[in-house]
Structure 1
Amino acid sequence: GMRPRGVWPSEGSVSDEVLAIAHSLGVQWMATDEGVLGRSQGIHFSRDGSGRLPPDAAARLYTIHRYDNGQSVMNLLFRDHTLSDLIGFVYSGMPAEEAAQHLMQNIKNAAQALLDMGRDAVIPIILDGENAWEYYPRSGREFLRRFYDALQRDPGVEAVTASEAIERHRDFGHLASFVPGSWINANFNVWISASEDNRSWDYLYHARNFFTQTAPRASEAQRKLAFEELLIAEGSDWNWWYGPEHHSANDRDFDELYRKHLSNVYQALGATPPDYLAQPIAGGLGRPSFAPQTAYIHPRITGDVVRYFEWMGAARYTADHRAGAMHGKRFLLDAVYAGIDENYVYGRLDFAGDVPETEFALVVNLESWAAAELRPRRALRLDAIVQERQLQEWKVSQAGDELPLDSCEARAHDGVKVALGRNFEFRLPLSWLLATPVSSGNNSAAAASVPATSKLRLRFSLWQKGLPVDALPLEGWIELELLSEADLMAMEY
């Protein structure tokens, strides 16, 4: 094998002290996020609507910096946060070829300012871990193949290793010190800011002090085992899951494992662990919540005032604004509601805060399904364009049809309503989805040659500049049972 020449440190976390340790170990380069460079130089890397940086900011970011404080020397690369996040959070929701083309164009857009100066641009794109690929079809293989093929075909863009870039680079930037931070907001708040974080660090501090005081009197085997448990507990991932920022389905398991490793430090050295390690560190856990429809609804579609009782009985999906293993997700949507009555399907989307100021599009996908069928019976799409917090246009179309069923210009159906105010609301005829509520006592549908539509599925998404930004539900759909009101109210949940 080959000794590594450089490293993206855990969580992209760097400081003068970390660079000194890396220098002493022979590390030649390290990489972290553009935010650390921005904080160190007192600037913010703000991009225009096309994702381009101003020339001066591009010249600062798209180069290699030489760090030299008189004792430690290191080559530093600062990743393009925006391009990296496009891969991490956006392209998984786009067709692979379109996503690859978009990334290539954005790389060339980013580099253009330096090319205009007659300089090469070094554009680091770095993901902190493999988490993004689980959200791509086939783990991102098609996207990566398309992207690598585009790289091979474009003579103006070359993929190189960090060491190769350093060897060929000219016009290095220079740093004598910089602000310590990680790839997340150029600080360490994810790991230290919440009461749960602080309590877990306190417990680790006490265990470390106990080891320091007790290990000299223990046997070599005891010291080795206790030290191994201590090193496990010092990993950054434990505190990733404490506090309000992140969660997974295994939060309780992580909490229990962390406390077990700390307890093992004491036990390995022949002592009884403190009583507080028997109690969970994590407090109440936020979760996305879903409630099914329990009664027919007949809300007025205005978008202005949420009339609580008009939406009582609707299916509801409330977002969980804590991220999982992937940090950086933008949350613009807070909750969605959906329901039916005898003739219509209704939907409502609540924003997380005010309606966004920047132009965006809302898309509502609706599908009707019959039992045991492999494809939806009918698929509709509601598109709405919002500018300056005003609904500018909307249309409802059937999959595969060029002409819309209705739009803000045509208004061909009196029963169709779309509105935006404090929230976004709509009403569409069930007949457009080949859907009619069926009573459980009605056997005519079962005897029919064509199975009756048994459920509807809905999904809401928000798009900006042609890219998906947020969606509810993030995975799957809201499902509505096509039942009579009496049967809905009789359901046991």
Structure 2
Amino acid sequence: MDRVEVAFLWHMHQPPYRDPESGSYVLPWVRLHATRGYLDMAAIHERFPGVSATVNFSPVLLEQLEDYASGRANDRFLELSARPPQDLALEERAFLLRTFFMVSWEQGVRPIPRYRELLHRRGLELEGVDLREVSRAFSVDDLRDLQVLFNLAWMGFAARERDDTVRELLRKGRDFSESDKQALLEAQRRLVGSVIPAWQKVASGGMVEISATPYFHPILPLLCDSDAAKVALPDAPLPPRLRAPEDAREQVRRARDQVSTIFGAPPAGMWPAEGSVSPEALEVFAASGVRWLASDEEVLLRSLPAGANREKSLYRPWRVRAGDGEVAMVFRDRGLSDAIGFRYARSPAKDAVSGFLGDLSRIADARPAGEELPLVSVILDGENPWEYFPDSGRDFLMELYSRLEAREAGVVSTSIGRRIARGVPADRLERIHSGSWIEGSYRIWIGQPESNAAWALLGEARAALQEARERLAPHERIAAAEEQLLAAEASDWFWWYDEDFVTETKAEFDRLFRTRIQATFRALDRPIPAAALSPIGDGSATAGEPLSTLRGPSGFIHPVLDGEVSSWKEWLGAGIFEASQARQSAMHQRAGVFTSLRFGFDLDTLYLRVDPMWDERAHSTMDGLRIDLQVDKRDLDLRCRLTEGALLPYSEELGRHVGKGFFHTVVELAVPFAELGLEPGQRISMAVRGTRGEVEVERIPLEGWIVLDVPDESFELRMWKV
């Protein structure tokens, strides 16, 4: 006898990792999660067609999966996986040692003896470790095994069961050949390409309902009105108010169109990013044709009168006012959802599932006679938890789905849309609480120093776009800027700001956000705000780069400008920034064209020496140099073409050539302080960019600025910093 309905919603999401300038993907997580969570969950639904559930995709994830499937996507990790290890530069070897153990050590590394051996040889703690030196002790065979094992460790149970290459290489375990590695990467391409077709199959067969999140996964209530944060956090300091309901509508419209294109029909329902809702957001959803939404129990309880009974209120669908209309809503059981996401990974599968079904039975026992079956909404991440389960969660999912298919203990699985279609009780919530699944507020994404700074930048970019619309700027510029701004609205950037969560790749998330802001201004042909050019947070240090990459000037220098390293004494006393070491310590997507920058001065002149990495790649990717200088509130850019011989840097701001230089094996420049209008004691912030045409191919430093003071005769006593 049926006693209780359970509606799973598995949420699948990754942020937009593509760099808007280079087109390369900065991080590999779409590709790697595809061969585990996305493929495994489709395989489970195919294996148990009697289990119903809702699967929620962020459309930006679907877009990126299509990019990888078509071969349009590439990422730094994939590039370095494919390269023969003997061809890797020293910093690239160090990159492998730093990043190719980024998988659960317990479930991904420990079960593979060779992988575990390589991890212990590298070391478990990296603080103070020079991985370039460590990498010298790793042979070509060691590095090739690491390339293979990293990609193998991200294979889920479906890939291991279905793909002969994956299964054979796991059996082999070590001593892989180049042909083994190429076979694995080809298998990976096949598997990633099979993800969307697998979900199309189970969706068309009625096994799952497809729902979506607004396109780039924004916190939609904060787009409608950033002051919505005051409802739950009345005393929180907030950034300048942003109101962009048209952006919210566009995010929803694009999401419905994308899902319709891939799955044949627009989604009936949506899981708003992070379960975030507000009265204004509900109005946007309803006006866009969305019939149902889901959020968290905390949001429900704060929308009800004080003292409302949790059990009677939670285990049912609701009608909720949405402007002049209404939408249906369900609310997740936080305890049951979090049990799967965070607790069951270390329990035997049978015990975990028995505990889960037992909790559902207790909810069924509390149902008054004659009432509708309780509806328990279990909503959680559909990809990340399986990293921490043995065998990528296979035993747990097999146990859960087999017992759900058998309707054990009277537990019936359903999709949210199917349950909503049967009817929703007549009583209605007249006003939804403004909050998310975390604390019933938006504190994680707004109201703290770093996140507020990011929202302020977003507001500046949006104001620039609105101004361009009003002056009827060219359509192609408006469209390009809109695309970048919508991507900058993704919730993921704000998640990692401030101190609530920690990730090794915080610098990359910050950089991805700011490059979208920069690209918005660039598309509009507007100056980029200085705040978008430096890391959000501690602007005095370069995110992701150790200070050991830089040494400040220690004495006056007087180099001869001949484009040659004529004598080591010429630049003795100059400051130096080691570009290759900075790349090793930050997971940056570009291979790099500089080895180092030297900088120094005498009383009258600033001297710069740029040492290019003059191999075939650098020749083909860099043909210009740009020196960015900020003094007080002035921006001064010096540009020169890298043609062999004499160089004449040109300043568009000043409208003339400034200083001189020479290029042969290195670039040497001299820029008199007086020609820039600078006096002793003034502080200069400096960055050097290698360019090809108008496209930046590398920046020194990768982020932030090198800061120095115009010297006087006692300059050695002054402090310097990055």
Question: With structure 1 as the length reference, what TM-score do the two structures score?
Answer: 0.53
2:373 maps to 1:123:
no
Partner residue of 1:138 out of 381, 388, 391: 391
Is the 1:252–1:282 Cα contact (8 Å) retained in structure 2? Answer: no
Is the 1:60–1:173 Cα contact (8 Å) retained in structure 2? Answer: no
- Separation in 2, partners of 1:282, 1:213: 28
2:446 maps to 1:189:
no
Partner residue of 2:534 out of 268, 276, 279: 279
Aligned CA distance change for structure 1 residues 174 and 116 (closer, same or farther; 3 Å): same
- Number of the residue aligned with 2:300: 37
- Separation in 2, partners of 1:28, 1:185: 26
Is the 2:328–2:424 Cα contact (8 Å) retained in structure 1? Answer: no
- Separation in 2, partners of 1:96, 1:126: 19
Aligned CA distance change for structure 1 residues 233 and 112 (closer, same or farther; 3 Å): same
2:368 maps to 1:105:
no
Amino acid in the other structure paired with 1:188:
Y
Is the 2:316–2:330 Cα contact (8 Å) retained in structure 1? Answer: yes
Partner residue of 2:400 out of 134, 138, 147: 147
Indicate the SS of the match to 2:445: helix
- Separation in 2, partners of 1:276, 1:94: 47
2:524 maps to 1:269:
yes
- Separation in 2, partners of 1:158, 1:286: 50
Is the 1:58–1:114 Cα contact (8 Å) retained in structure 2? Answer: no
Aligned CA distance change for structure 1 residues 72 and 249 (closer, same or farther; 3 Å): same
Indicate the SS of the match to 2:410: coil
- Number of the residue aligned with 1:23: 286
Consecutive unaligned residues in structure 1, runs of 5 or more: 46-55, 288-493
> 1:162-311 counterparts in 2 under 5 A?
162-169=416-423, 171=425, 173-215=427-469, 216-283=471-538
> 1:431-446 counterparts in 2 under 5 A?
none
Aligned CA distance change for structure 1 residues 202 and 242 (closer, same or farther; 3 Å): same
Offset from partner CA, 1:455-480 (integer Å, 9 cap, x none):
xxxxxxxxxxxxxxxxxxxxxxxxxx
Consecutive unaligned residues in structure 2, runs of 5 or more: 1-263, 545-722
Offset from partner CA, 1:330-357 (integer Å, 9 cap, x none):
xxxxxxxxxxxxxxxxxxxxxxxxxxxx
- Separation in 1, partners of 2:338, 2:412: 21
- Separation in 1, partners of 2:358, 2:441: 31
Amino acid in the other structure paired with 2:279:
D
- Separation in 1, partners of 2:502, 2:542: 8
Aligned CA distance change for structure 1 residues 177 and 269 (closer, same or farther; 3 Å): same
Indicate the SS of the match to 1:242: coil
- Number of the residue aligned with 2:705: none
2:339 maps to 1:76:
no
- Separation in 2, partners of 1:155, 1:164: 21
> 1:374-413 counterparts in 2 under 5 A?
none
- 1:193 Cα shift? 2.1
Amino acid in the other structure paired with 1:26:
G
Offset from partner CA, 1:127-162 (integer Å, 9 cap, x none):
145222222222212111101111123161100111
Aligned CA distance change for structure 1 residues 10 and 110 (closer, same or farther; 3 Å): same
Indicate the SS of the match to 2:428: strand
Amino acid in the other structure paired with 1:277:
A
Is the 2:296–2:334 Cα contact (8 Å) retained in structure 1? Answer: yes
- Number of the residue aligned with 2:265: 2
Amino acid in the other structure paired with 1:202:
A
Is the 2:507–2:543 Cα contact (8 Å) retained in structure 1? Answer: no
Aligned CA distance change for structure 1 residues 209 and 118 (closer, same or farther; 3 Å): closer
Amino acid in the other structure paired with 1:6:
G
Higher helix share: 2
- Separation in 1, partners of 2:292, 2:448: 32
Amino acid in the other structure paired with 1:267:
R
Question: What is the aligned-residue RMSD (CA, Å)?
Answer: 2.4
Higher strand share: 1
- 1:74 Cα shift? 0.8
Offset from partner CA, 1:370-393 (integer Å, 9 cap, x none):
xxxxxxxxxxxxxxxxxxxxxxxx
2:415 maps to 1:161:
yes
- Separation in 1, partners of 2:305, 2:543: 36
Indicate the SS of the match to 1:221: helix
- Separation in 2, partners of 1:169, 1:270: 52
Indicate the SS of the match to 1:114: coil
Offset from partner CA, 1:387-438 (integer Å, 9 cap, x none):
xxxxxxxxxxxxxxxxxxxxxxxxxxxxxxxxxxxxxxxxxxxxxxxxxxxx
Indicate the SS of the match to 1:124: strand
Between the two proteins, the alignment pairs up a number of residues equal to 277
- 1:117 Cα shift? 6.3
- Separation in 1, partners of 2:277, 2:542: 30
Q: Which has the higher mean CA deviation after the structures are superposed, 245-254 or 131-140?
A: 131-140
- Separation in 1, partners of 2:307, 2:448: 26
Aligned CA distance change for structure 1 residues 44 and 86 (closer, same or farther; 3 Å): farther
Indicate the SS of the match to 1:87: helix
- 1:269 Cα shift? 1.5
- Separation in 1, partners of 2:367, 2:542: 47
Aligned CA distance change for structure 1 residues 70 and 201 (closer, same or farther; 3 Å): closer
Indicate the SS of the match to 1:252: helix
- Number of the residue aligned with 2:367: 114
Indicate the SS of the match to 2:375: coil
- Number of the residue aligned with 1:94: 347
- 1:268 Cα shift? 1.3
- 1:217 Cα shift? 4.3
Indicate the SS of the match to 1:189: coil
- 1:13 Cα shift? 0.8
- Aligned-residue sequence identity (percent) comes to 35
- Separation in 1, partners of 2:430, 2:277: 14
Offset from partner CA, 1:164-201 (integer Å, 9 cap, x none):
21233564552111211111111101001210011110
- 1:33 Cα shift? 0.2
Aligned CA distance change for structure 1 residues 244 and 173 (closer, same or farther; 3 Å): farther
Is the 1:222–1:268 Cα contact (8 Å) retained in structure 2? Answer: yes
